[in-house]
Amino acid sequence: LTYTKTHYLRSAATLSQCPGEITREVAFAGRSNAGKSSALNRLTGQKKLARTSKTPGRTQLINYFQLGELPLALVDLPGYGYAKVPIGVKNAWQKELGNYLQKRDALAGLVLLMDIRHPLTDYDKRMLEWANDNGMPLHLVLTKSDKLKRGAAKSALLQVSQAIRNSSTAVSVQMFSSLNGDGLDELKQRLNSWFLP
Ligand code: GTP
Ligand code: MG
């Protein structure tokens, strides 16, 4: 598949606003600041496709990016775990996010991005548990691999691999850097396998 022809389609605030013309999609989830938007930009070779920010909590809608004219899409989800939004807003978003994950039929797989320097936070573990309980295929991406030396990055990868070995759903893990493109081909292959089953 070609990811360079990806373009912004629509933002949805609720499940009912998600586009009906998309029949298969892969969602990028993870804590605020994990690097979801940056990974989407790297993947599509478009620096400004998804908005990135040094301020966590920037992405606050379910953002749809369509692959050319295909009925396929990449979805940039709001980062969870961001404390600096009013509590009511946070809860409303978590409810919407839960609703989306639970009920969106087009959702073929979940990419969970985690900063390689602090993977498997409580939030990540909850997502892993949810994927297991719901039989949702999951791909863990350890972002910002450029921030660690090779040895440290590899041991982080090994640690996460060990933590997921008893999963009942299909789970895979890789490292990735939006900065230097480390792991880009591996990510594309995983997405291809979900988009073209
Ligand atoms: P929210 O939208 O708030 O949920 O955040 P996000 O997960 O979309 O994170 P975003 O892509 O906006 O990146 C957060 C910060 O991390 C930005 O300052 C990015 O430049 C930086 N960043 C993202 N990926 C990488 C990477 O691979 N390497 C390095 N060094 N920095 C990165
Ligand atoms: Mg973002």
Give the pLDDT confidence score for residue 180 in this predicted structure.
97
Distances, alpha carbon 17 to alpha carbons 12, 14, 24, 77, 114, in Å: 5, 5, 16, 14, 27
Ligand 1 in contact with 143 (CB < 6 A)? yes
Q: How confident is the model at residue 118 (pLDDT cuts 50, 70, 90)?
A: very high
Residues comprising the chain, all counted:
197
Q: Which amino acid is at 188?
A: K
Q: Is 36 within 8 Å of 113 (Cβ atoms)? A: yes
pTM, rounded to two decimals: 0.93
Of the listed ranges 70-79, 81-90, 99-108, 176-185, the one predicted with least confidence: 81-90
Q: Which amino acid is at 69?
A: E
Nearest to 35 by CA among 108, 140, 131: 140
Give the pLDDT confidence score for residue 52 in this predicted structure.
63
Q: How confident is the model at residue 50 (pLDDT cuts 50, 70, 90)?
A: confident
Residue 53 has pLDDT above 60, yes or no: no
Give me the sign of the Cα torsion angle 54, 57, 63, 67: positive
Q: What is the pLDDT of residues 4-27, one digit of tens each?
A: 999 999 988 889 999 999 999 999
Beta strand ranges found along 58-130 (DSSP E): 62-67, 72-76, 107-115
Residue for token digits 């404390």? 83
Give me the sign of the Cα torsion angle 173, 178, 182, 185: positive
Residue 83 has pLDDT above 70, yes or no: no
Residues near ion ligand 2 (Cβ under 5 Å): 36-37, 59
Ligand 1, atom 10: nearest CA belongs to which residue?
Answer: 35
The per-residue b/e assignment along 66-85, b for 16 or more CB within 10 angstroms, e otherwise, is bbeeeebbbbbbbbbbbeeb
Ligand 1, atom 30: nearest CA belongs to which residue?
Answer: 144
Concatenate the DSSP letters of all residues of 21-66 into one string: T--EEEEEEEBTTSSHHHHHHHHHT-TTSS---SSTT---SEEEEE
Average pLDDT of the chain?
90
Ligand 1, atom 1: nearest CA belongs to which residue?
Answer: 32
Give the pLDDT confidence score for residue 13 in this predicted structure.
84
Give the pLDDT confidence score for residue 89 in this predicted structure.
64
- CATH no., domain 6-195: 3.40.50.300
